A and B are shown apart, each in its own frame.
Chain A
């Protein structure tokens, strides 16, 4: 790792890795946040649906 932090091309190497892991992190965060919101939305709808079904019987 010390090799990365010294030398002539440090800026190029670290910015390539930074760009890569920034985009990968955005991908992971996007999937995770969408998953959370979908599950919450589905749980809410199912709860509403159950109440609706319950009120009919």
Chain B
């Protein structure tokens, strides 16, 4: 079976419900996506180190080019989990649980990058590594939610139960996303308010905005590539399990 012969794009998401078709799709897109990701990182990093110093933050403004994309992807990963959770609960899409489950470790990693780089940026700019204000605390809670969900998926042996229970927790945990986003507007925090994703367009100067967008695109492509490959790994794990069960059944039958 080939991707072209089944035309998965034409038949939409339902065409990808077949794991074999999905594995074929991953095989086709993995290398192009990896090369695009690499090219975006090369261009993004070159742009990041070509920018002039910021008039307030000096050279440390360069930390923004890894901190902000990581934070965006930390929240985007959660939205992938939310759509996966809806896929499990509403449409019962066979790959929805795989998609949600596989986004969690990357979301946790991006959240960790956001926390570490934010802390390193905070020391010279705010004079402190950490402060328990609304933005920083809500983002730490996001990391804890990710780790909790990963533990939940691992803890429940029965895949169907794990999928549905985790999906409910993913949707409940989604409350943290608007809290993170608007924490800088609702509360008094050390963290600055939004300067790119806000009403009225970005207020960031173009020489900083363009490298930031290229780096964000690089992070997005990296996430997409790794997420698809992790989904493939998870499908293979399930295939291995069913093969092992068949071997056991056949051994007992003999």
Contacts and interface: CB of A to CB of B under 8 A. Distances in A.
Contacts of A1: 49
Nearest to A39: B236
Interface size class of A (residues with CB under 8 A): 20 to 34
Contacts, number: 93
B230 A9 contact: no
Contact of B113 (A10, A13, A20, A46): A20
B88 interface: no
Given A19-B120, A20-B70, A27-B109, A13 B236 contact: no
| Interface residue SS majority, chain B | helix
B14 interface: no
A4 B247 contact: no
Interface string B97-140: 00000000110010011001100110110000000000000000
Contact of B60 (A13, A19, A42): A13
A7 B124 CA distance: 13
A55 to B, nearest CB: 10
Interface in B48-101: 49, 58-60, 62-63, 66-67, 70
B113 A23 contact: yes
B117 A19 contact: yes
Interface string A1-42: 101100111101101110110011011101110110011011
